[in-house]
Amino acid sequence: MSAAPRIDLHTHSTASDGTLGPAELVRAAAESGLDVVAITDHDTTAGWAPALAALPAGLSLVRGAELSCRWYGEEPPVPLHLLAYLFDPDAPELVAELARVRAAREERGERIVALLRADGIDVSWPEILAGAAGGTVGRPHIAQALIRAGLVTTTTEAFGSDWLGERYRLPKEDIDVFRAVRLVRAAGGVPVFAHPRASRRGRIVPDELIADLAAIGLAGLEADHEDHSPAERAHVRALADELGLLVTGSSDFHGTHKTVRLGAFTTDAEAYERIVAEARGVTEVASG
Ligand code: AMP
Ligand code: FE
Ligand code: FE
Ligand code: ZN
C-alpha cells in the first residue's frame, strides 16, 4: 500500500442501485487508483462473492452494506442510512431483517408504480423489477422507467418534488435504527451513520439521536460526502470529535445513476484501521 492509501468506503453495484456489476465495480476501483474499496449495497450482501472473486491485485475489499433505517422519534419517522462493515453475513436476525426490508422495497415500488399509473403515467412494474435484475430494488430503478418514458431526462430530475422526491414518494418499512446498530454489532460488524447531515435529501435527525446511537455502539459518522455542504461536513467532524466517533469520507458511487466518481471522497488510514480493528464478523479484509 502506498504512503497515503486511497480508501473509499461507500459504493453501490448492481446488487442494489448501482450500474456496475460487483466484478466491474472492483475493477473500476483499481483503475481509479484506490487501495481500499467497500461494497455497500442497499440491504444486501449479494455482491460480496462476485466482488471477491474478481478482486484485482493490490486492491483490498471491505465487505459491507447500507441498511435502510428509520428513526421513530418524530412523526412521520425519519428515514436514514446506516453503513455496516465486516459483519457476519449469516447472522440470522440481521439476515432476516435485510430480507424483510428487500421485500418491503418491492411492495413499496409496486405501490409507487400504481400511483403513477393511476395518474396516467405509463410505467410498468414488471419492467422496473426486471431492470433491477435481482438486485435490491429502489427508486433509482423507477427513475429509469420515467426516463425511458420520456417524462424526465435525468435521475436527478426524477428525484424532484413532482416525481419520486415528493409527489410519488412513499415510505418503506425500514429497520428501527437502534435495532439496526445493535444487530450490526451483534453480527460483529461496525456501524457508521451514512451522510447524517444531508439536508438536501430530506429531513435530518438531531445530534441528540446520534449521541444516543453512539452510546449503544455506533462507531462513526460519514462526514465527507457530496450531499454535505462544507458547513455540514465541519459540523459532522465536530460532533464525531465530541462523541469519540471515527469519521469517514466516501463517494457513494452509483455508476451512471449519479455523477460522482469513485474516490471522489476518501477516508483516512487511521479511521479505516479502527474499523478493521473493531470488526468481529468477517474479520479479514480481502486482498486481491
Ligand atoms: P430508495 O432507497 O428506494 O428510497 O431510493 C433512494 C436512493 O436513490 C438513494 O440510495 C440514492 O441512490 C438515490 N437518490 C436519492 N436521491 C437522489 C437524487 N437526488 N438523485 C439521484 N439519486 C438519488
Ligand atoms: Fe442508492
Ligand atoms: Fe445512502
Ligand atoms: Zn449509498
CB–CB of 159/186 below 8 Å? no
* Cell reading at 31: 483503475
Evaluate if residue 213 carries a pLDDT over 90. yes
Which of 17, 107, 168 should be mutated for ligand 1, with most atoms under 8 A from CB? 17
Strand partners, 7: 36
Q: Choose the weakest-confidence range: 71-75, 200-204, 224-228.
A: 200-204
Which residue's CA is the nearest one to ligand 1's atom 2? 138
pLDDT reported for residue 202: 87
Q: How many CA atoms lie within 13 A of 45 on its CB side?
A: 21
The confidence score (pLDDT) of residue 155 equals 95
- When pLDDT is cut at 50, 70 and 90, the band that residue 183 belongs to is very high
Q: Which ligand is nearest to the CA of 251?
A: 4
Q: What is the mean pLDDT of the chain?
A: 97
User: For 42-94, what is each residue's pLDDT tens digit?
Assistant: 999 999 999 999 999 999 999 999 999 999 999 999 999 999 999 999 999 99
How long, in residues, is the chain?
A: 288
Q: How far is the CA of 82 from the centre of ligand 1 (A)?
A: 14
Instruction: Report whether residue 254 contacts ligand 1, using a CB cutoff of 6 Å.
Output: yes
In this predicted structure, what is the pLDDT of residue 136?
A: 98
| Atom number, ligand 1, closest to the C-alpha of residue 156 | 20
In what helix (H) or strand (E) does residue 101 lie, and over which residues does it extend? helix 92-118
Quote the pLDDT of residue 200.
85
pLDDT band at 248 (very low <50, low <70, confident <90, very high): very high
Average of per-residue pLDDT across 233-262: 97
Neighbours of 103 (CB within 10 A): 13
Find cell 449469516 and name the residue.
90
Q: Residue 120 C-alpha to ligand 3 middle, in angstroms?
A: 31
Does the structure show a pLDDT above 80 at 281?
A: yes
At 201, the pLDDT band (50, 70, 90 cuts) reads confident
The pLDDT of residue 192 is 99
Distance 258 CA to ligand 1 centre (A): 9
Is residue 283 scored above 90 in pLDDT? no
**Nearest 10 degrees: CA dihedral of 208, 213, 216, 219?**
-120
Considering only CA atoms, give the Rg of the chain: 18
Which residue, by CA, sits nearest to atom 3 of ligand 1?
A: 138
pLDDT at position 243: 98
List all residues 6 or more positions away from 49 whose beta carbon is below 8 Å from its beta carbon.
none
> Which residues, 6 or more positions from 283, have their beta carbon under 8 angstroms from its beta carbon?
86, 188
Distance between CA atoms of 127 and 141, rounded to whole angstroms?
Answer: 10
Structure confidence at residue 253 (pLDDT) = 98
Ligand 1 neighbour 135 (Cβ under 6 A):
no
